[in-house]
Amino acid sequence: MKILVTGVKGQLGYDIVNECQKRNIEAIGVDIEEMDITNATQVCDVITQAKVDAVIHCAAWTAVDKAEDEVDMCRRVNRDGTENIARVCEALDLPLMYFSTDYVFNGQGEMPWKEYDFREPLNVYGQTKYEGELIVEKLKKHFIIRISWVFGLNGNNFIKTMLRLGKERGEVSVVNDQIGSPTYTYDLAKLCVDMIQTQEYGTYHASNEGYCSWYDFACEIFKQAHMNVKVTPVDSNAFPAKAKRPSNSRMSKDELDKHGFKRLPTWQDALERYLKEINSL
């Protein structure tokens, strides 16, 4: 099997290419230098010439607050870029895997969001990812995978920020009124490479098992890192942001179960392995 992976410089794209290589699956990793997804002609040329069996589309605009000011650019990447890829996949009859987000929901309540619940994004980023979903779900051969609170080796994330602030300040304030599940890209990549080799098309939620607040997450980071850092719980009003965040990012994994895919390990287990990995670098 031969797979084209967009966004190879990001946390997830990097891990998916590595996972493919471990399994002797040929992976062509591209980023903006090799294939600008907003350029329809370039997208068509690169995918067609690569002669691949599937496309895993990780590239996205993920600067959530910046998106509120740069709406057009965010939409060009998340909606139009996705449409350019989807069009080529449809023409070549290729499966397309697209990554979306818990931000497509309105973030209210306390029940886990089911895969086919009504979508009502809270912010520009969520809206553009939702628009990307609408395009991808029209394809016969599609996987939509919603993820949340992502962390991986290649790039910045909440864990790296907490470790840095903990060392610099010895204390941090973290919101305790947003609940969700962290997602380790190493674990997610394994699931995605399993999935792309099947025909179990549809929409899935894939984050590490268990729920926590950002405050809980921070406490566990410092506990596992053996750092004596004071963590103060605060509500979201303490950190005013341009983009509204969902308070409920719990996601149901019913579709993973239904299609026979193994759920990801607990987020605490993922965190432990991740800390070992970054300490060994």
Which residues are catalytically annotated? Answer: 125
Residues 6+ apart with CB under 8 A from 43: 35, 36, 37, 81, 84, 85, 88
What is the C-alpha separation between 5 and 56, in angstroms, rounded? Answer: 5
Residue 229, Ramachandran bin (φ over 0: left; ψ between -120 and 50: alpha; else beta): beta
Provide the β-strand partners of residue 2.
26
Residue 203, SS3 per DSSP: strand
Residues 6+ apart with CB under 8 A from 2: 25, 26, 27, 28, 50, 51, 52, 53
Task: Write the DSSP string, 63-81.
Answer: -HHHHHH-HHHHHIIIIII
- Nearest one of 18, 39, 37 to 27, comparing CA atoms: 18
Contact yes or no for 185/278 (Cβ under 8 A): no
